[in-house]
Structure 1
Amino acid sequence: MNGQNRNDIYPGLEVDIILKKDQRSGKLTRGVVKDLLTSSSYHSRGIKVRLEDGQVGRVAEIVEF
């Protein structure tokens, strides 16, 4: 599942994000959502979130078990 719809993302969800510094390489960082920073319901490059460890990036994928 991609991270473009705000309705799909909530605190406590495990996601892969792309940090600003990793946009060129596309390197993913895995973590758990703490806060949603994008207020609109949809964003073409992914909803911006803050992880529990403080890192901020756009959701590339939602981790599903």
Structure 2
Amino acid sequence: MNRADVAPGKEVHIVLKADQKTGKLTRGIVKDILTNSPRHPHGIKVRLQDGQVGRVKEILT
């Protein structure tokens, strides 16, 4: 997952910290990108518009 592929306003599926064991995905719109590095093996960490924070697993738009 590349940081350049994720941008505010994009619709994504993320995994919340509490859902990492189950892999349950949460859908939302990216508000902020929290990962500074260009790549991350577990996904780029983002904050959704509703305030939830997790790592991007899939970009929908």
Query: Do Structure 1 and Structure 2 share a fold, with TM-score over 0.5?
Result: yes
Which position in structure 1 is the counterpart of 2:24? 27
Segments of 5+ residues of structure 1 without an aligned counterpart are none
Say which structure is richer in strand: 2
Which position in structure 2 is the counterpart of 1:38? 35
RMSD after superposition:
0.5
TM-score where L is the length of structure 2: 0.98
Residue identity opposite 2:49 in structure 1:
E
Identity %: 66
- Report the Cα offset of residue 46 of structure 1: 0.1
- Report the Cα offset of residue 24 of structure 1: 0.3
Q: 1:11 aligns with which of 8, 23, 30?
A: 8
Aligned residues: 61
Residue identity opposite 2:33 in structure 1:
L
Matched, 1:49 2:46: yes
Tell me how far apart the structure 2 counterparts of residues 8 and 60 of structure 1 sit (CA, whole Å). Answer: 12
